[in-house]
Amino acid sequence: MERFTLNDLESLTGIKSDTIRIWERRYGILNPNRTVTRRRWYTGDDLTRLMNISLLYSKGLKISHIAGLSDSELNERVSSIGDGDRRSTDQIAAIVVSMNRLDEAAINEILLKSIITRGIEATYSEIIFPFLQKLGLMWQTGSVSVGSEHFISGIFRKRIISAIDSLPASYARNSLRFLLFLPEGELHELGLLFYYYLIVRRGGEVLYLGQSNPLYAVVQVAGQWDPHVILTGTLSGIGQSNPFEYVKQLSIELPGKMILAAGGLADIAEKINLPDIRPIRSSGDLDLILKSFSLKIS
């Protein structure tokens, strides 16, 4: 069973711990379990209920009214909220709820409607990546299972691969060539796939190596394909004992190439401050780099 602390609920729902305690005492919105030391803990169903309460409360409904609704009534009220009226924080909360239910159809519906109204780039920037930050918090506190993490990551991965496949290969002969890879031991490729989508959409050419590449293999491919830019990154840290040395080694092994370091390597790249290594944290950073190479941005 998933177990959430009171602090977990505050982080995941945005409702202060003191407020949750007051609502429990005054309105009975949740009935927490207790450890042997009398500390509160909550189930996945409790999180789902509080997420729904948070969504309705943010729309101006009084807590005294919301507290009287059954779980099925809460679900019905939340489902009736128009997508045009939902903030990104609401949609992130709805994805958390749907993940706990392993409800793939509901998650895909949220994503599809966001893509229609926002577009792919904004959906990933404003919905998916902020959600993954929240998921990281859940992972650190042990409040999300391995299965749930793989379930939701798989959905996001399928969505971005589908978006990549739908793009025409419209790069010109003189287009900028990007080699994309993750370091050995790094398996979280969603961010790298997002950059793949952005580059192709903007007219660049990509050779994608994907997850867990030993550096010698990357160097070999780079020597054969001769890319202009190397893009790599990590979710947080990397398997090497010294990531600073790893970034320096990239510069040594790939001379004459611009190297873009994303995710957990971006801060390291910034601190090392080598001329051929640049941190990249957003689509805006990518656009600046593309412009500096005079690549036409559509």
Per DSSP, the three-state class of 62 is: coil
Judged against a pLDDT cut of 80, whether residue 224 lies above it is answered with: yes
Of 164, 194, 227, the residue that ends a domain is: 164
- CA separation for the pair 216, 204 (Å, rounded): 25
- Per the prediction, the chain carries an average pLDDT of 85
Predicted local confidence at residue 202, as pLDDT: 86
- CA separation for the pair 88, 77 (Å, rounded): 18
Predicted local confidence at residue 83, as pLDDT: 54
User: Is the same domain home to 133 and 157?
Assistant: yes
Domain that holds residue 150: 6-164
Residue 93 sits in a domain whose CATH number is 1.10.1660.10
Of 119, 137, 164, the residue that ends a domain is: 164
Please name the amino acid found at residue 211. Q
Per DSSP, the three-state class of 75 is: helix
Predicted local confidence at residue 81, as pLDDT: 67
Predicted local confidence at residue 86, as pLDDT: 60
pLDDT in tens, 13-29: 778 899 999 999 999 99
CA R_g for the chain? 22
| Polymer length of the chain | 298
pLDDT band at 2 (very low <50, low <70, confident <90, very high): low
pLDDT band at 171 (very low <50, low <70, confident <90, very high): low
DSSP H or E segment with residue 158: helix 146-165
Mean pLDDT, range 56-65, rounded to an integer? 87
pLDDT band at 297 (very low <50, low <70, confident <90, very high): very low
Judged against a pLDDT cut of 70, whether residue 82 lies above it is answered with: no
User: Is the same domain home to 192 and 220?
Assistant: yes
- Domain tally for the chain? 2
Mean pLDDT, range 34-62, rounded to an integer? 85
User: Is the same domain home to 60 and 113?
Assistant: yes
1 is a domain residue: no
172 is a domain residue: no
User: Is the same domain home to 276 and 222?
Assistant: yes
CA distances from 124 to 40, 41, 160, 282, 288 (A): 34, 32, 9, 11, 19
pLDDT band at 96 (very low <50, low <70, confident <90, very high): confident
Proportion of the chain above pLDDT 90, given as a percent: 31
Question: Could you tell me which of 49, 117, 111, 105 has the C-alpha nearest to residue 77?
Answer: 49
Question: Could you tell me which of 117, 116, 97 has the C-alpha nearest to residue 107?
Answer: 97
User: Is the same domain home to 75 and 44?
Assistant: yes
Of 109, 141, 164, the residue that ends a domain is: 164
Judged against a pLDDT cut of 80, whether residue 174 lies above it is answered with: no
- CA separation for the pair 253, 275 (Å, rounded): 15
Burial of 280 (0-12, 13-18, 19+ CB in 10 A): buried
Predicted local confidence at residue 295, as pLDDT: 47
Predicted local confidence at residue 215, as pLDDT: 95
- CA separation for the pair 255, 163 (Å, rounded): 33
